[in-house]
Every structure is written in C-alpha cells, then in structure tokens.
Amino acid sequence: MFDEVRYFFFITNDWERTAEEIVFTANQRCDQENLVSQLHSGCHALRAPVDDLLSNWAYMVMTALAWNLKAWWALQLPAAPGRHREAHRWEKQWVLRLELETFVQAFVRLPCQLVQSGRRLIYRLLAWNPYQRIFFRLVAVLRC
C-alpha cells in the first residue's frame, strides 16, 4: 500500500571530505548489511541451536571459520597478467561476495573419484560445473 523508504546514516568525524565522497567511500569499503544477512540466514552463525552457552559459542566459531575459509579461498585466486586480468578480477570479487551455500555447491560438493596409482593419489572430478575454471586456477596456486 505504501512506498517503502529506507534511510542510511553515515557517522564520521571526517570534516575534510564532502558528503558525497564519504558515501562513495563507505559504499566502496563495506557491505555490512549483506555480511550480517549472510551470517544470520546464509550460514546460520548468529543462531543459537543448543541450550548451552559454550556449545552455542562453538557453533558460532565453526560457522564463522567456514565463512572465513570462503573469504580466504577467494582472496587466494590470482589475477593473471594479460588479457584475462579483468575477467579474473571480476571472478575474484564474485567468489568473495558469494553466499556460503552457493560457494559450497560450486566448489566444495564436487563429486570426485579417488584413485591410488603407484605412489600417488589422483582426484578425478566426475561432473562438470561452470565454475571449474576458477577452481582449477586456485588448485594451481595452492600446488606451488
């Protein structure tokens, strides 16, 4: 029935910049609403599923570690010099902003066959997904 109006407040002690510069800088630096939303409903880090304070703390720490693993994974992606540099930067930002469940589906729950041949362990991916190119770029970095 009524228009939804949202107000955003920026509190700062910076008297040198204009209001537009402060808003632009804050929008570039932080995405806190989405982060809190993801921690609350994406990976359920802010829920208290157990009746004991220590267990709830452990649950929150485990889910926050999963969230940090996703961020670390994204920050390790290299941006190759050359013509693919912009595409790699975009992919890195995309992975960094992914929801946790999408990240798990794209990069963690990969069907894989383990084969021991000689003295090596070979991982064979059994299915294709559109994010394998990004996955193999990170694997190449982690092997070095």
For 73-83, what is each residue's pLDDT tens digit? 888 998 878 88
**Domain assignment of residue 98, yes or no:** yes
**Domain assignment of residue 113, yes or no:** yes
**Domain assignment of residue 122, yes or no:** yes
* pTM to 2 decimal places: 0.63
| CB-based burial label for 112 (10 Å; 0-12, 13-18, 19+) | exposed
**Domain assignment of residue 128, yes or no:** yes
**Domain assignment of residue 8, yes or no:** no
**Domain assignment of residue 45, yes or no:** yes
**Domain assignment of residue 1, yes or no:** no
Return all residues near 78 (Cβ < 8 A) that are at least 6 apart. Answer: 88, 137, 141
State which residues form the domain around 54. 19-143
pLDDT tens figures, 43-74: 666 667 777 888 888 888 888 888 888 888 88
Domain count, the chain: 1
**Domain assignment of residue 62, yes or no:** yes
Confidence of residue 111 (pLDDT cuts 50, 70, 90): very high
